[in-house]
């Protein structure tokens, strides 16, 4: 599904505006399939051929502007499968952004009143599909599972190879990424731990949950992925820090800092951030760098997880 490896781009103008150097953007917004983003790497594993063999219906859930739901619906369209998406309301009068694309790909949308209802409704729908003679596959929200995160363990190795050929004289990498269902962050943690990369400092910037919850979920998923590999892993060697200073009024609600990040990335680098995840992650990176600075021994990397259709909602 994904076009790999995704580029590692040196953002000189943005770095200058932030008073740091060097600054790179790992462009997972360019994974390609169905307008790309980080969900493509995870769904490559969750929707691998052996897992979907005989399946007639994919069922998953997310917010009304869910990138995960967009990519799942697109895969179903390509594979000729029925797709049912559970999203929280209200029903939009005129769908835009990801909500429009989900419908364009032919997904059936089931609206629930609250995020807490989504998982139970997915399994209820699966039972109904089975009773009708179909064979459903329930894809967990965000594809954030022990299996799905392995896509980002692979991405960690991909990034490590790219950094190995960068001649910038830096010994340590500060890597900033958005975090909500935590699959991307957990996969990176697992990947760098497997590689023994103690020179990488991971920062997960929350889009919604408290920092402690993000850390707990990330470590639990990373251990789940390691168990699937039957690999002994020491996670203590990789610095993991979770930040929740950009949550604001909640999931999908922009903040002044996230709006500033959108404008700065666009005007200085021609790069589009989405308002739910990447804008808050970029704001978190900018705030951390303003408070802590960096040094001649460190490079900064921002992992762009995509999602730009949400900006057009």
Active site amino acids: 66
Q: Edge-to-edge strand order for the sheet containing 57-62?
A: 108-112, 82-88, 57-62, 136-138
Which of these, 284, 281, 256, 282, lies nearest to 269 by C-alpha position?
282
Q: CA 153 to CA 82: how far, in whole Å?
A: 30
Q: Edge-to-edge strand order for the sheet containing 172-179?
A: 8-10, 23-27, 298-304, 172-179, 200-206, 239-243
CB 191 within 8 A of CB 156: yes
What DSSP letter does each residue of 106-158 carry, written as one string?
T-EEEEESSGGGHHHHHHHHHHHHHHTT--EEEPPGGG-STTTTHHHHHHHHH
Write the burial class of residue 306 (CB in 10 Å: 0-12 exposed, 13-18 middle, 19+ buried).
buried
Q: Cβ–Cβ contacts within 10 Å for residue 168, how many? A: 10
Three-point CA angle 57, 59, 62, nearest 5°: 155
**Token pair belonging to 144:** 């954030």
Total residues found in the chain within this entry: 313
CA 120 from centroid of its chain's CA atoms = 23
Helix (H, G, I), strand (E, B) or coil at 247: coil
CB 8 within 8 A of CB 286: no
Q: CA 309 to CA 42: how far, in whole Å?
A: 19
Helix (H, G, I), strand (E, B) or coil at 116: helix
Q: CA 41 to CA 150: how far, in whole Å?
A: 9
């Amino acid at each position: 599904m994904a076009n790999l490896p995704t580029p590692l781009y040196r953002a000189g103008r943005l770095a200058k505006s932030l008073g740091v150097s060097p600054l790179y953007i790992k462009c997972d917004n360019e994974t390609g399939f169905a307008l790309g983003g980080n969900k493509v790497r995870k769904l490559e594993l969750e929707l691998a051929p052996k897992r979907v063999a005989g399946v007639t219906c994919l069922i998953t859930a997310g917010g009304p502007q869910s990138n995960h739901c967009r990519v799942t619906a697109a895969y179903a369209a390509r594979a000729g499968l029925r797709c049912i998406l559970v999203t929280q309301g209200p029903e939009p009068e005129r769908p835009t952004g990801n909500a429009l694309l989900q419908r364009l790909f032919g997904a059936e949308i089931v609206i629930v009143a609250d995020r807490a209802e989504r998982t139970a409704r997915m399994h209820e729908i699966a039972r109904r599909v089975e009773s009708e003679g179909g064979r459903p596959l329930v894809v967990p929200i965000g594809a954030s599972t022990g299996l799905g995160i392995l896509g980002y363990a692979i991405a960690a190795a991909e990034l490590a190879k790219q950094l190995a050929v960068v001649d910038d004289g830096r010994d340590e990498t500060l890597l900033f990424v958005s975090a909500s269902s935590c699959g991307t962050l957990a996969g990176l943690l697992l990947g760098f731990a497997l590689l023994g990369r103690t020179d990488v400092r991971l920062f997960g910037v929350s889009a919604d949950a408290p920092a402690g919850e993000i850390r707990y979920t990330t470590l639990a998923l990373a251990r789940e992925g390691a168990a699937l590999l039957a690999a002994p892993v020491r996670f203590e060697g990789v610095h993991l820090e979770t930040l929740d200073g950009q949550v604001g009024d909640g999931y999908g609600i922009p903040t002044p800092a996230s709006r500033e990040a959108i404008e700065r990335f666009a005007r200085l680098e021609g790069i589009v951030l989405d308002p739910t995840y990447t804008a808050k992650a970029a704001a978190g990176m900018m705030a951390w760098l303003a408070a802590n600075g960096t040094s001649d021994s460190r490079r900064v990397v921002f992992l762009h997880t995509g999602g730009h259709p949400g900006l057009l909602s």
